Amino acid sequence: MTKANDLRQKDVAGLQEEVKSLQKAHFGLRMQKATQQLGNTGTLRSTRRDIARAKTILAQKRATETKTKE
């Protein structure tokens, strides 16, 4: 589980990479679930929430960047 404070310290490019890696991990977990190899299905929920957390912070950073440019 990634903490919001850790994500806020990253720049926009770092957050984009984090989202991409979390989405790949989530896809892998979904494939494991489909083939009935996933024992702990709670990890799907936590990765989904981590993705949402990272995307929210990314959107916040982008919004503040556009405000400072104006």
21-56 per-position pLDDT tens digit: 999 999 999 999 999 999 999 999 999 999 999 999
**pLDDT at residue 3 is higher than 80:** yes
**Band (2; pLDDT cuts 50, 70, 90):** low
What does DSSP assign to residue 2?
-
Q: CB within 8 A of 44, min separation 6: which ones?
A: 26, 29, 30, 33, 38
Domain harbouring 36, CATH code: 1.10.287
**Band (66; pLDDT cuts 50, 70, 90):** confident
Q: What is the model's pTM?
A: 0.88
The Cα–Cα gap between 60 and 1 comes to 20
List the domain range (segments joined by +) for residue 27.
Answer: 4-69
The arithmetic mean of pLDDT across residues 4-31, rounded, is 94
Please tell me the total count of domains within the chain: 1
DSSP-assigned letters across all residues of 5-63: HHHHTS-HHHHHHHHHHHHHHHHHHHHHHHTT--S-THHHHHHHHHHHHHHHHHHHHHH
